[in-house]
Structure 1
């Protein structure tokens, strides 16, 4: 079952026509949220990021789009799919309504909620091999639109195809200044000694929710020094550890980049703190 504007319908139902602006122009935003036993991890952060992004894209925010309303719609969808006592992946997509060419006829929006099963109720460290490579065919722009979680993800799609064709688990994306900004599906962190570095938003990386939470966690501990600074490709093979984050996997250690293999000590230490923060809310 999927939820379109508060109405539950079969996932086999045709929901959109050829005028859908998300399809035609990528005129849409989305949030991907982990839901465990009916609890949405970091829901307030997801909600306020969505509201901020809608304002930036000049979408009209409906009066009923409160924190509580969208949370209830998500939980209703989770329950109808039988995941209320399990772990589930939730995707909430907001798109501008039909009409117009590049210039929309209306700034009013619709939403759709989809859910699917997850294996683990908490964030865990994946011990499998995980090799990455730089993707240098196209670049991430250094602007505010790159910080948003929009449906304009063709660079990520092409990079994913490149990774699959060449046997990599993921790719590292670079911006127009040739600085490493993120992976295909998450925010990048680099560890050297007790320093943990992540690219600043001004470099064009996604304004990720788990990135934000890890910045808070690392900044609050005396064990590590957090740096929000640009990462050069030349730094990668000098790092002790590389990992990336997103709202579904939590923390994913990168095991190998070219000839360099990495440890996962810091990843393992941080994932426990991240789980604790998720349970607190």
Structure 2
């Protein structure tokens, strides 16, 4: 069974707007360090539904974390389709590591049986960049291995709301991957504005209605980065997005993009059975 939840505001709209404005002012005035990018060290206890996706390198003969994913139930995880696709992709070259704060060490391992990439993936840029992955062996739940909660079908996250990335990705553009789990708070950015920005690229970037744009617009410094793909975008404790793509990392002009989960929630629930 997949756990879905509707988004409910716990404050009146006017009060929420005041709080968001206060949070944004604080974020914009803060110095931005170069981490997840712009985040802090955290532990798996805080995010027990996040897992590492390991890829096997035939040339090196070793496994190494390459993406993130999110536990849906004991046999299925949710990730980005581009982590389970490509010319040389084979499911035997992927596995997941759950229940550890540290990259490439600890936790429990389960190998990938097959992926269910969304049928729309690859037809319009990164639209539909989402996959439900079946594991060979059931995960054993523990305090650090728990299923996540995904947003209800067609749920909407308002602009300017704070959301959180977590992952083991690069801590700067082109930098090193993080040896320990990190998280970072960013803000939802108006999709139409984001789409206009990406259309100025050559070739233009395609931002669709099935994506969430988030970052610190015209400030930069906070974002997911390479190695975070497939990991979660949280609103509270609800998974609302899957890290997908962007133009660089923590770019002030071009915020990062996640696949919005809400357009696919019913498909996810029907697939992960």
**Normalised TM-score (structure 1):** 0.29
Identify the structure with the greater helix proportion. 1
User: Quick one: higher RCO (CA 8 Å, sep 6+), 1 or 2?
Assistant: 2
**TM-score (structure 2 length as normaliser):** 0.30
Greater gyration radius: 1
